[in-house]
Amino acid sequence: MTATRHPLRLGMAGGGEGAFIGAVHRKAAALDGDWRLVAGAFSTDADRSRRSGAALGLDPARAYASIDALIAGEAALPADERIDALAIVTPNHLHAPMAIAALEAGFHVFCEKPMAISSDEARAIAAAAEASGRRFALAFTYSGYPLVEEARVRVARGDLGAIRLVQVEYLQGWLSLPIDGEGNKQAAWRTDPAQAGPGGCLGDIGTHAFHLAEHVSGLRVEAVAADLATHVAGRRLDDDVGALLRFNNGARGLLKASQVAAGEENGLKLRIHGERGGLEWAQMEPNTLTLRWLDRPAETIRAGGPGLDPRTGALLRTPSGHPEGYIEAFANLYRAFAATIRGEDAWYPGVGDGLRTMAFIDAIVANAASDRKWTTIPSGETE
């Protein structure tokens, strides 16, 4: 007789009224039935947190006034009632204190990226995760797309030959005007060094581009030559990033991220070229992977279509021609996170990915502020 598989219990820090990404996390976590939201501290405003909990249908006693109250309240419940994991969907400066407190209390953590606002904070999270034996996941959502996995598999098995070129760009236009000084809360915290950390566009979307480039290529960036720009007058952090990349196998790369590319929506694109061929994937057309070859016509690979690796097929939910997108990619990470908590084998972005991206931020900021041509990204603890 098959045992009943109950959803894991999820708590949430942040993501209340007026927030954007919290609702995305909730939808993604719920999609496969692996998670059930049961508690939250949805705002630093206690009334707003209670209203958010009520709107989500939670027990009023589990819509907490603060993260401290959530952790204490949940820890006091019986093991079969308390949360299994905490999703942290707050501005960056709250990631480390919340994650460390949750891990030390025995809860797994699924955290928004970047991991923290400094490498020191990121290392403190890593130490807390190791000491507690709990899982720590990061929302590098684009790694959850099925055809990103297909691209990764094809590179890893050598289809393209030795990799020579990696180009990644992430273009948005929503910060082209000074809306961060005009009451837009989502813009305001992302351009505030105290809340976002040392990188604006760099930390918000540049880290996504960097993570995607390393994840799919299977390579590690050893050094960067960078330019950071702030185009909007009075803005305190960068809104435009460019970098040359040197990879550990000798490959060369380009990274471009901007939030002032007026008219752009969410233009994340990746191109990788080896000695025998290349591939291209774009987030706004995520169900298509294009392969180009030296010696034969180009191929268009479609989600759900023929020729996919079984690992790609495991990430799909609908037949060919039925589009899947951002929520489904996010859900793949939550599904993998649940699987590992249950003792199964699955991959999701975790501590190592977080340390790598924090080291990337440090190297870009240092290089852009200096007259050095190249700045090395340390290995070792970031691997």
Q: pLDDT means per 10 residues in the chain (383 residues)?
A: 78 93 97 98 95 97 97 98 98 98 98 98 98 98 98 98 98 98 94 98 98 98 98 98 98 98 98 98 98 97 95 95 95 98 97 98 98 91 53
What is the pTM for the complete model shown?
0.96
User: What pLDDT is stored for residue 381 in this prediction?
Assistant: 57
User: What pLDDT is stored for residue 34 in this prediction?
Assistant: 97
196 contacts 92 by C-beta, under 8 angstroms: yes
151 contacts 279 by C-beta, under 8 angstroms: yes
User: What pLDDT is stored for residue 308 in this prediction?
Assistant: 96
Q: Which residues are within 8 A (CB) of 230 and not within 5 positions of it... i.e. 6 or more apart?
A: 200, 236, 237, 238, 239, 240
Which segments within the chain are labelled E, that is strand?
8-13, 35-41, 85-88, 108-111, 136-138, 163-171, 221-229, 240-247, 252-258, 267-274, 277-282, 288-293, 299-302, 375-376
DSSP codes of every residue in 154-219:
HHHTTTT-SEEEEEEEEE--TTSS-GGGTT-HHHHHHT-HHHH-S-SHIIIIIHHHHHHHHHHH--
119 contacts 363 by C-beta, under 8 angstroms: no
| Separation of alpha carbons 155 and 171, rounded Å | 25
Alpha helices (H) along 238-350 = 310-313, 326-341
Q: 177 — phi, psi (to 5°)?
A: -115, 160
Residue where the block lists tokens 């070129």: 165
User: What pLDDT is stored for residue 1 in this prediction?
Assistant: 45
In this structure, the chain runs to a length of 383
Residue where the block lists tokens 């939250």: 40
Tokens of 9: 């219990």
Cα dihedral: 12, 17, 19, 23 (round 10): 60
User: What pLDDT is stored for residue 3 in this prediction?
Assistant: 58
